[in-house]
């Protein structure tokens, strides 16, 4: 049941009307049931894994509050090992088995070791990180353990964020679940707008760009020059519209139920440095790694060399979190190195005075180049893209014309797609400077109508959101 499916819209409609007709003290039962029903639509067997992670974290938190001294630390480490072990089993077993086979071949050892791959449960990286954060916060004494298992389980299985985040703090959700809220037409209208914006980003922009990007990466040797460069920039826009579109739909869906989620994106391509980019991109994951990896390692409170090590290790783990492949490892290390370079330059040269739009453009180019490793099937493919995307640039006219010809889009489709890209950029700039505001009906109605026309005429089969694979 994907967000862009009719079955989800029917599911949401039933949940919405039932939720607001129920007494507030029974709404957690509906949310819990809806979460497990929603998750079971992907693979019913893996609801047992979701329940197991929920029960384990709930029980461990209660144990931690009653434990003292060394026993408390033992309970924590047992829990962490089980949670991380589960993630390693389902997500990284194939990657590590391939790595072991490669190492054995270096020593000319003919040990029959075929890669082992298990079906990855959708959303596992998100709800395991969510429960890890909760138990660690209880251990540190930042929050009290939740006593009501129903509220706790409903928070872990809250369907708007269950599959691909944002990684919400469980205590923030349980507090809101207990509040006696009444439906607000104004809040509902803003939430509906947020959902429509998410659908525009995903179904119109991201899925359209995906067609060209997938075509190029499926046969890289057949492309060079501006065609490759377009694929680089298109993927930057695709992954932003895809994932922020998901976050918009999730936030809007939760808002229809009176639940506020923390922002997960803050116009990341308006960042003027790579460090600033990570304060704006996938904010919930960035804050998770900051609070539970970077700061416990010492953060920037240690010497320059150790601080650089902490950044590099944090982004290495972030890369591995996104996927069990060398491309994600390189992507994470590259972002760590870019941040270390920025800090080193600033330390020795001071603050370089450049127009803000120049720094924003430079940051976008760096981030886009790094995304190539994120999208490519192998490091070799990524290097091919980066080394051949400027081929033929000396003859600018043919360089541009050949690349545009490779798009194979009708003129009307290309013009409409450019319109929606410019519209999205204007909306991001407007939010950056003035904050999120409701659009009047006379503006929203024609945009929605035009988007529907585009989707009906040029839309492709809805693909799964990119972050579902993580």
- Cβ 251 vs Cβ 194: under 8 Å: yes
DSSP 46: G
Closest C-alpha among 451, 432, 277 to residue 362: 277
Distance CA 148, CA 122 (A): 26
Residue-level pLDDT at 312: 95
Task: Give the pLDDT confidence score for residue 42 in this predicted structure.
Answer: 84
Tokens 């390693």, residue located: 88
Annotated catalytic residue 282? no
pLDDT at position 107 is 59
Measure the CA–CA gap between 344 and 275, rounded to whole angstroms. 13
pLDDT at 463 (0 to 100): 65
Run of H or E including 326 = helix 326-349
Q: What is the pLDDT of residue 99?
A: 59
pLDDT at 118: 61
pLDDT given for residue 410 in this prediction: 85
pLDDT digit string, tens, across residues 77-101: 999 999 999 988 888 776 666 655 5
d(CA 29, CA 22): 10
Low-confidence ranges of the chain (pLDDT < 70): 94-118, 351, 436-438, 461-465, 467-470
**Of these residues, 322, 351, 388, 433, which one is catalytic?**
322
Task: Give CA–CA dist 87/46, Å, rounded.
Answer: 13
pLDDT for residue 109: 57
User: Token digits for 187?
Assistant: 């809040």
Report yes or no: 191 and 249 within 8 Å, Cβ to Cβ. no
Give dist(CA 279, CA 287) in Å, integer: 8
- Residue 410 has which token pair? 């009708």
Both tokens of 314, joined, read 């944090």
pLDDT, residue 110, reads: 56
Residues in Cβ contact with 355 at an 8 Å cutoff, skipping those fewer than 6 apart = none
Preceding peptide of 166 cis, ω within 30°: yes
Largest CA distance in the chain: 73
Q: Residue 93 has what pLDDT?
A: 74
DSSP 92: I
- Bin 113: left if φ > 0, else alpha if -120 < ψ < 50, else beta: beta
Contact between 434 and 427 under an 8 Å Cβ cutoff? The reply is no
Gap between the Cα atoms of 223 and 244, Å rounded: 29
Predicted local confidence at residue 105, as pLDDT = 59
**Phi and psi torsions of 225, nearest 5°:** 70, -140
User: How many C-beta neighbours within 10 Å does residue 239 have?
Assistant: 20
Please report, to the nearest 10 degrees, the dihedral formed by the alpha carbons of residues 223, 226, 232, 235 taken in order: -90
Give the side-chain half-sphere CA count within 13 A for 120.
20
Provide the token pair at 80.
Answer: 């962490």
């Amino acid at each position: 049941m994907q967000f862009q499916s009719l079955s989800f819209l029917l599911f949401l409609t039933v949940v919405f009307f039932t939720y607001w007709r129920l007494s507030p003290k029974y709404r957690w039962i509906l949310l819990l049931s809806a979460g497990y029903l929603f998750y079971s639509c992907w693979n019913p067997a893996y609801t047992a894994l979701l329940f197991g992670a929920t029960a384990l974290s709930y029980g461990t938190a209660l144990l931690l509050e009653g434990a003292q001294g060394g026993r408390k630390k033992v309970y924590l480490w047992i829990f962490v090992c089980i949670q991380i072990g589960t993630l390693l089993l389902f997500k990284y077993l194939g990657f590590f088995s391939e790595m072991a086979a490669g190492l054995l071949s270096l020593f000319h050892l003919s040990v029959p070791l075929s890669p082992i791959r298990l079906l990855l449960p959708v959303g596992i990286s998100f709800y395991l990180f969510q429960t890890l954060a909760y138990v660690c916060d209880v251990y540190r004494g930042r929050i009290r353990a939740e006593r009501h298992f129903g509220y706790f389980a409903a928070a872990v299985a809250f369907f708007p964020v269950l599959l691909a985040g944002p990684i919400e703090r469980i205590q923030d959700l349980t507090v809101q679940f207990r509040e006696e809220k009444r439906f607000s037409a104004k809040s509902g209208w803003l939430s509906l707008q947020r959902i429509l914006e998410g659908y525009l980003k995903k179904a119109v922009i991201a899925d359209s760009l995906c067609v060209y990007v997938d075509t190029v990466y499926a046969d890289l040797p057949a492309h060079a020059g501006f065609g490759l460069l377009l694929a680089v920039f298109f993927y930057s826009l695709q992954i932003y519209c895809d994932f922020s579109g998901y976050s918009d739909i999730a936030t809007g869906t939760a808002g229809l139920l009176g639940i506020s989620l923390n922002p997960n994106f803050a116009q990341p391509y308006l960042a003027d440095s790579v460090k600033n980019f990570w304060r704006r991109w996938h904010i919930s994951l960035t804050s998770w790694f900051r609070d539970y990896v970077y700061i416990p390692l010492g953060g920037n409170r240690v010497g320059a060399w150790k601080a650089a090590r902490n950044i590099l290790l944090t982004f290495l783990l972030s890369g591995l979190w996104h996927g069990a492949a060398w491309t994600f490892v390189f992507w994470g290390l590259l972002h760590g190195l870019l941040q270390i370079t920025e800090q080193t330059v600033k330390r020795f040269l001071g603050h370089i005075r450049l127009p803000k739009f120049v720094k924003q453009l430079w940051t976008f180019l760096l981030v886009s180049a790094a995304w190539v490793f994120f999208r490519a099937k192998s490091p070799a493919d990524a290097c091919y893209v980066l080394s051949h995307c400027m081929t033929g640039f000396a003859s600018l006219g043919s360089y541009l014309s050949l690349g545009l010809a490779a798009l194979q889009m009708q003129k009307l489709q290309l013009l409409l797609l450019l319109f929606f890209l410019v519209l999205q950029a204007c909306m991001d700039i407007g939010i950056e400077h003035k904050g999120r505001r409701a659009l009047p009906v006379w503006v929203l109605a024609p945009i929605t109508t035009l988007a529907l026309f585009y989707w009906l005429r040029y839309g492709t089969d809805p693909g799964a959101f990119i972050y579902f694979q993580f």
